[in-house]
Amino acid sequence: MPPKNKFTKEQIVDAAFDIASTQGFDSITIRKVADKLGSSIAPIYVNFQNLDELKCALGDKITNLTTEVMLSVKTHDPFLDIGAGNIKLAMDYTQIYKDYHLNPNCSQYFKHDSTHQNKLIKKMSASTKLVGLSREQMSDILHIMAHITYGIIFEYLIIKNKTSYDEIIHYMENVADDLIVGYKLRKGVK
């Protein structure tokens, strides 16, 4: 008779997330997750075949969290919300953010499909600043602004810039406004 489930998959992934948040994605082991749960390793292997499968489930949780935060932050503009959500992710989940974007050992665990981008573009389309742009043009602006945002975030994370969240968002809004105006001029969009 197989062992009884003592912990759900979600509880195990949450424990792995806690470890990744403080110690980094690479430091996750079955033993550390079991210790975090106050358990032997057996319940983890009841739910996951191996560490790789657990890390894939953790990658899904992190990808979903990324989308959720970027969609849930509210400023006065839906496009700014996305950048502000990205900043919030970096500030609230610094180690995970670094692993997600900078750790080559982690990329295999994160899904990079169109679902995340489609949800962001749908939110962006509610911005009055982006009126007149096609979906493809909004996708262009999203990619350009993502790179600008990453620069701001990495300055904050790596250089340890002590700029406040509100100051960063104000700066980002000015950059985004300039980007949108310039993009519309270049593309002939009114």
Three-state secondary structure string covering the chain: CCCCCCCCHHHHHHHHHHHHHHHCHHHCCHHHHHHHHCCCCHHHHHHCCCHHHHHHHHHHHHHHHHHHHHHHCCCCCHHHHHHHHHHHHHHHCHHHHHHHHHCCCCHHHCCCCHHHHHHHHHHHCCCHHHCCCCHHHHHHHHHHHHHHHHHHHHHHHHCCCCCCHHHHHHHHHHHHHHHHHHHHHHHCCC
List all residues 6 or more positions away from 36 whose beta carbon is below 8 Å from its beta carbon.
15, 16, 18, 19
Kindly state the average pLDDT of the residues 133-151. 94
Amino acid 4: pLDDT = 52
pLDDT, tens digit, 9 for 90 and up, residues 59-113: 999 999 999 999 999 999 999 999 999 999 999 999 999 999 889 999 899 887 8
> What pTM was computed for the model?
0.87
More confident residue, 112 or 179: 179
Query: Does the CA dihedral 21-10-102-148 come out positive or negative?
Result: negative
**The domain defined by 9-187 carries CATH number 1.10.357.10:** yes
Domain boundaries, given as residue ranges, for the chain: 9-187
pLDDT, tens digit, 9 for 90 and up, residues 18-38: 999 999 999 999 999 999 999
**pLDDT > 70 in the chain, percent:** 97
List all residues 6 or more positions away from 21 whose beta carbon is below 8 Å from its beta carbon.
93, 95, 96
Amino acid 1: pLDDT = 47
pLDDT, tens digit, 9 for 90 and up, residues 147-170: 999 988 888 777 776 788 898 899
- Predicted confidence (pLDDT) at residue 3 exceeds the cutoff of 60: no
